[in-house]
Chains A and B, each alone.
Chain A
Amino acid sequence: MNDLRELYQEMIIDHGRRPRNFRALADADHDAQGFNPLCGDKVTVYLKLDDDTVRDISFQGSGCAISTASASLMTETLKGKTLAQAQALFEKFHRLVTGENEDAAAPELGKLTALGGVRDYPIRVKCATLAWHTLKAALKGYREVVSTE
């Protein structure tokens, strides 16, 4: 039960149930769709850039608590960040959820550390990173669906 509480922290349950920035962005200048064929999770990430700063970011889709909370926390975290900062955060976040990061509590990750419990559930890493991979695809300007496979 305790390790489950580590995975399903209050913040995950909260963001999973009431995701923030959960809407389409009418004036988005970048967007992409992500899909995890293993579990059917779907996410669309919308982005509005101001030069290389994230002015607005949102998402829509359906998925498990982990993927929904991860997408929600990602949008909260990245608003106002530069693309370089976003890229650096993704790398740190990826190391956090795959357990490669000894220094898991990197302060710049902020609320994203709530997803640290995923490291004990390798099968769920794709849930936690789907939104981030989709964001990356959006920034590359790809309009096609990306896959976690």
Chain B
Amino acid sequence: MSTGIARNATTPATAAAYDVERVRRDFPALRQQVHGHPLIYLDNAATTQKPQAVMDALQRFYLEECSNIHRGVHYLSQQATEDYEATRSKARRFLNARQNREILFVRGTTEALNLVAHSFARPRLRSGDEVLITHMEHHSNIVPWQILCQETGARLRVAPINDAGELIVEEFEKLLGPRTRVVSLAYVSNALGTINPVRELVRMAHARNVPVVLDGAQAAPHLKVDVQELDCDFFTLSGHKMYAPTGIGVLYGKAELLEEMPPYQGGGDMIRSVTFEKTLYNELPFKFEAGTPNIAGTIGLGAAMDYLEELGRENIAAYEQELLDYGTRALSRVPGLRMIGTAREKAAVLSFDLPGVHPHDVGTILDREGIAVRTGHHCAQPVMDRFGVPATSRASLGVYNTREELDALAAGLRKVTEIFGR
């Protein structure tokens, strides 16, 4: 496999060790032109491009070992089962979970959060109990809890954020009350890039015996995650935001909690025995994996995790941080531009507002330059309300972005201000 970092590299985590041009060659999609310009893909928080290694893994599964898992005695089924379960081991190492049975494969973070809300939180909630989230959550970490609160009579509490887009930790702590039954929050905000001090927040919640769910969709692609060190009770990730296919993700849960939880869906593979009188459920993790799973996607996720490990997750974090600093400086020189989300601890997300120009117009003009950014509310309407904007433009960075691309973004934004006659 060709990656940007040599396999035997033992260099410390410095951006200098990072060869972005080699990384770019691993991503065929980056070679294309859009509207006559080389594609500059800056919408990685929505989804990432896929490296050749991931495409090869998908193709290998469908061309050479396509079969169902966990049930066939034949050769192909054994191969597929082996590769599927090997990804579970990779995911355990990727998150530093204790055991493979703590790793559940799901469609993505949305399904993971719904699973936790339904199977973990629902049986624990009584009328008047509270669920605590933050003001910077993605809709997928708001709506499942709202539905749950409506069903149970529990109350959704929201910890506020400051003008920089940081969680106000003292307010969060105050909202941890005697009725708080679960806390669910983003490790990294998709709309603002804020990295929450999750270790500290988990400690605060645990001091009051409140379990914590971490939405890690935006953290897993950028940061080295250690669920044992974080001590979170659940952690979610979405494969497609970390260079893997769509439709596959991971829910990590502490084994003792998963053991107690009722199944989320019933079906094949999640049972030990079925009669019309009684069904015995399978053991972990299979209890939560009803039906034929996304086998190809899971194997693709494994390839993406291998890819990120080979690049070196500390190397990625250091490189992206340098890129973020560079981009922040480049955008600050665009006349009038206001950065939305200026937290001290930030992942590689540049969300901004150009006063007098709607983000949708910004997006259209940048698109004609071959630059893909996200414009809109980023599935985080409460964040937009907090900053008094209907929408923002967002450039979100990944392993293959360069300083030159950020210069092109800044130049594109100057063109926007030119067209709008400022």
| A residues in contact (CB < 8 Å) with B | 1, 3-5, 7-8, 13, 17, 38-42, 62-66, 68, 121, 123-124, 127
Contacts and interface: CB of A to CB of B under 8 A. Distances in A.
A4 B391 contact: no
Interface in B375-394: 375-377, 381, 384, 390-391
Contacts of A66: 360-361
Contact of B358 (A3, A38, A65, A123): A65
B361 A64 contact: yes
B364 A17 contact: no
B421 A39 contact: no
B227 to A, nearest CB: 35
- Interchain residue pairs A-B with the least CB separation, the first 10: A64-B358, A64-B360, A65-B361, A39-B360, A40-B390, A64-B361, A8-B419, A40-B391, A62-B390, A4-B368
Interface string B390-422: 110000000000000000000000010001110
Given A3-B368, A4-B365, A65-B361, A13 B391 contact: no
Contacts of B359: 39, 64
A124 B384 CA distance: 22
A42 to B, nearest CB: 8
Interface in B333-382: 356-361, 364-365, 368, 375-377, 381
B390 A38 contact: no
A63 B358 CA distance: 7
Given A64-B358, A65-B358, A7 B364 contact: yes
A65 B357 contact: yes
Contacts of A17: 356, 420
Contacts of A7: 364
Contacts of B365: 4, 8
Contact of A124 (B364, B391, B420): B364
A13 B377 contact: no
Given A4-B364, A68-B358, 10 more contacts: A4-B365, A4-B419, A8-B365, A13-B419, A39-B359, A40-B384, A40-B391, A63-B358, A64-B358, A66-B360
